[in-house]
């Protein structure tokens, strides 16, 4: 079958490789990457990390997929945990899921790898992960118990530090006070509306929405988020985040930004809400730096 990632599409017939084992393994990885691309999975955020896990496992075992057994994956996870005292449960599950999905791919007869491996090496790949050697998903939250949200005093200290940075730059008569003021307002907006990085960077002026039930907020009744976190293989999710009375100080901040700060960057007709010094849209990397 001409499925994306099928063996006959990535492994050319009639070619004799000097080292057939690594050639077949690389073809498997290439085919698996093709299969995932057809599902519209993210190249850098999903596909490449999965391929990296499979390569690390192969390097650890010094074996190829048609030689793997459950004992190898158990030794691999045990090795990782012994090297890192704080090896997170979620990290272990991600590693196991990547290896499980790769094994599902190479053991699926529709892709032709079991037959190819039997013909060339006398062995076929098998599924090496099962319910007895994988992490059980027993609770919704598996993060570090030491992590917690900021207290109100800590949030206020963070905002004060952002404001103080603007005053410090101005007092030293150096460039950057305008950008620092923008960053301070952006930081508070992210907090007030609970935005992710990409959600904040993707906002346009047109995404400022009125709320008929709160006319006193004017054009800042809510934000229409168009670049929400997507499910794997799906488009960005959309949602509207309303301005709440407890955080209505964000209305005055956004109004100050649009009336005083943003025009100073001379954005012209650029639609982005958050503008850089070069009159472009702020990137997630620039937001990280801020």
pLDDT digits (tens, 9 = 90+) for 209-221: 999 999 999 999 9
CATH 1.10.150 positions along the chain are 7-121
What percent of the chain is modeled with pLDDT above 90?
A: 76
CATH 1.10.443.10 positions along the chain are 152-289
What is the distance between the alpha carbons of residues 8 and 11, in angstroms, rounded to a whole number?
5
For the domain bounded by 7-121, which CATH number is listed? 1.10.150
**pTM listed for this prediction:** 0.70
Does pLDDT of 128 surpass 80?
Answer: yes
What was the pLDDT predicted at 138? Answer: 60
pLDDT digits (tens, 9 = 90+) for 92-121: 999 999 999 999 999 999 999 999 999 999
What was the pLDDT predicted at 179? Answer: 94
- Please indicate whether residue 141 or residue 186 has the higher confidence score (pLDDT): 186
What is the distance between the alpha carbons of residues 42 and 33, in angstroms, rounded to a whole number?
11
Does pLDDT of 14 surpass 70?
Answer: no
Mean pLDDT of 226-244: 88
Does pLDDT of 148 surpass 70?
Answer: yes
What is the distance between the alpha carbons of residues 210 and 243, in angstroms, rounded to a whole number?
10
pLDDT digits (tens, 9 = 90+) for 154-174: 999 999 999 999 999 999 988
Homologous superfamily of 152-289 in CATH? Intergrase catalytic core (1.10.443.10)
């Amino acid at each position: 079958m001409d499925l994306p990632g099928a063996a006959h599409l990535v492994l050319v017939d009639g070619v004799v490789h000097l080292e057939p084992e690594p050639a077949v393994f690389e073809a498997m990885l290439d085919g698996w990457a093709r299969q995932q691309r057809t599902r519209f999975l993210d190249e850098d955020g999903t596909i490449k990390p999965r391929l990296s896990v499979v390569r690390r496992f192969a390097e650890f075992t010094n074996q190829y997929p048609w030689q793997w057994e459950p004992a190898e994956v158990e030794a691999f996870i045990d090795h990782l945990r012994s090297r890192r005292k704080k090896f997170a449960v979620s990290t272990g599950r991600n590693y196991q899921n990547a290896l499980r999905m790769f094994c599902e791919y190479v053991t699926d007869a529709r892709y032709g790898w079991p037959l190819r491996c039997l013909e060339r090496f006398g062995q076929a790949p098998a599924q090496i992960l099962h319910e007895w050697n994988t992490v059980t998903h027993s609770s919704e939250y598996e993060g570090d118990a030491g992590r917690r949200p900021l207290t109100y005093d800590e949030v206020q200290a963070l905002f004060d530090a952002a404001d103080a940075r603007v005053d410090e730059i101005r007092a030293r008569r150096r460039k950057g006070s305008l950008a620092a003021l923008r960053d301070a307002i952006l930081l508070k907006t992210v907090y007030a509306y609970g935005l992710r990085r990409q959600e904040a960077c993707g906002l346009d002026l047109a995404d400022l929405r009125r709320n008929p039930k709160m006319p006193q907020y004017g054009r800042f009744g809510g934000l229409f988020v168009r670049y929400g976190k997507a499910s794997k293989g799906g488009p960005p999710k959309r949602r509207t985040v309303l301005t709440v009375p407890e955080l209505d100080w964000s209305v005055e901040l956004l109004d100050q930004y649009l009336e005083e700060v943003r025009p100073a960057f001379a954005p012209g007709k650029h639609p982005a809400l958050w503008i850089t010094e070069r009159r472009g849209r702020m990137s997630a990397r620039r937001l990280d730096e801020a």
